[in-house]
Amino acid sequence: MTCETTSRKLAALLLLGLLSTTPAAAQDDGWDDAGWDDATDALPISGFVEAGLGTRIHDDPLLGQRGTLEEFRWRVEREWDPAGFTIALKGDLGYDGIDDEWYGALRDLSVAFAPGDSTDVRIGRQILTWGTGDLVFLNDLFPKDFVSFFAGRDDEYLKAASNTIRITRFSDRWNLDLAWTPRFAHDTYLDGDRFSFFFPTAAGNVAPSPALVAEEPDESFENGEFAARLFRTVEGREYALYAYHGFFKQPNALTPDLRATFAPLTSVGASLRRPLHGGIFNTELAYYWSRDDSSGRDPLIPNDQLRVLAGYEWEPKANFTVGLQYYLEWTLDHDRLIDNSPAPRFEPDERRHVLTTRLTYRAARDKHVLSLFAFASPSDRDAYLRPSYTYRHSDEWSWVFGGNLFIGDAGHTFFGQLEDASNLYLRVRYRY
């Protein structure tokens, strides 16, 4: 499929979406409100239609196409409030030109209710997030979609949905969040379909066909995911404690027959966010216990880790915001890992350091937004840059032009493996 053919197809789909969507708000939505509480009015349907195109800056010799994003997407959002309940729907229908297929995805299909004055419950498919990091996640062990993130989709799509029961209990001192995901929900990881990735047994990047499918835990109660957060705010300071029992979200382990899989994980952590000298300071830490390799001697399973984050965000001048972060991954029992590894040169450094910077400038009442988010790892000698320019023509129309630029000296580091994936993208959105 040529770029010209794809562009024409996406343009036609966008026009079709606009023609079919714009009058929809004035039409009967097909729901019969009879029998619902008369005092509860359904919110109108809202959402957006969007077309996106992205292409690599350089060829990836392992893949047959330069495109990273060829997409039409139609979003529908709605809420209903029958007596005592809130039903939320947020779903996408789209066409993916890279895979040449139509798809549907539910971002939210959940029911929320309050069984008591100080308890909230939400059941169903939903997006969950907590922690203090900006695009750096320590105690937020809910699923992410890194393929969408690297391809040029909206930042919203970095967070993936999971089928979860969440209970929040409020009190005068501490509040408690409990989240149970009965079936393990892993990240959308690099599988060789859209981006090649480093695989240690191949000593280089691979793009398997069919795409990599990691071995998942059996479906059972003990293989579900349990997460808890204890949090409170005191005089503007936000404190939180975290716990998680489940699995690493990325397939960073190997079975004895060298198939990718997800290692068991238990973690505990804490965070603080507070005002400081005209800005916002945050810090967070997490201890990752790799339950199947607590001694650090098995090179097929990740070691225990200590992860630490510190950040600060402030506005040095009007409409210009700066955010800085320092992130540390400290691999414990590192000497044992190196002594037992068949390929020690590919193992992570004992201490991986990452610095991030977010620069955002807004002009003409947010009509123009210039942004740069940069990751840089001095220990891995690699980097990842995310520049973007957003133009908001009106409340309905907006354009985003940006890039995902990867730099690395070594092909086995996290950003270095993606150097051939560097891309530029353009998205056009109409919100209704």
Instruction: Give me the percent of the chain exceeding a pLDDT of 90.
Output: 88
CB atoms within 10 A of CB 266: 16
Residue 9 has pLDDT above 80, yes or no: no
Under the banding of pLDDT at 50, 70 and 90, the label for residue 43 is: low
DSSP for 80-113, please give it: E--TTEEEEEEEEEEEETTTTEEEEEEEEEEEEE
DSSP 160: P
pTM: 0.88
Residues with Cβ within 8 Å of 286's Cβ and at least 6 positions away in sequence, in order, are 138, 139, 242, 267, 268, 269, 306, 307
How far, in Å, CA of 161 to CA of 144, rounded? 8
Q: Report which of residues 34 and 291 the model is more confident about.
A: 291
Strand partners, 356: 325, 375
CB contact set of 13 (below 8 Å; sequence gap of 6+): 51, 72, 95
Residue 21 CA to residue 14 CA, distance in Å, equals: 10
Q: 255-282: per-residue pLDDT in tens?
A: 999 999 999 999 999 999 999 999 999 9
* Average of per-residue pLDDT across 75-86: 94
Structure tokens at 167: 């209970």
Contact 184, 216 (CB under 8 A): yes
What would the mean pLDDT of 131-155 be, rounded to a whole number?
Answer: 98
* Average pLDDT value for residue range 20-39: 42
3-state secondary structure of 301: coil
In tens, the pLDDT along 90-136 reads 999 999 999 999 999 999 999 999 999 999 999 999 999 999 999 99
Q: Across the strands, what pairs with 28?
A: none
- d(Cα 379, Cα 306) in Å, to the nearest integer? 16
Domain boundaries, the chain: 3-22+46-431
What is the distance between the alpha carbons of residues 390 and 317, in angstroms, rounded to a whole number? 20
pLDDT tens column, 351-363: 999 999 999 999 9
Residue percentage of the chain with pLDDT more than 70: 90
All residues at 6 or more sequence positions from 237 whose CB lies less than 8 Å from its CB, including other chains: 272, 273, 274
User: Is domain 3-22+46-431 in CATH 2.40.160.10, yes or no?
Assistant: yes
Residue 154 has which token pair?
């909206």
| Mean pLDDT, range 185-210, rounded to an integer | 95
The pair phi, psi for residue 150, each rounded to 5°, is -75, -20
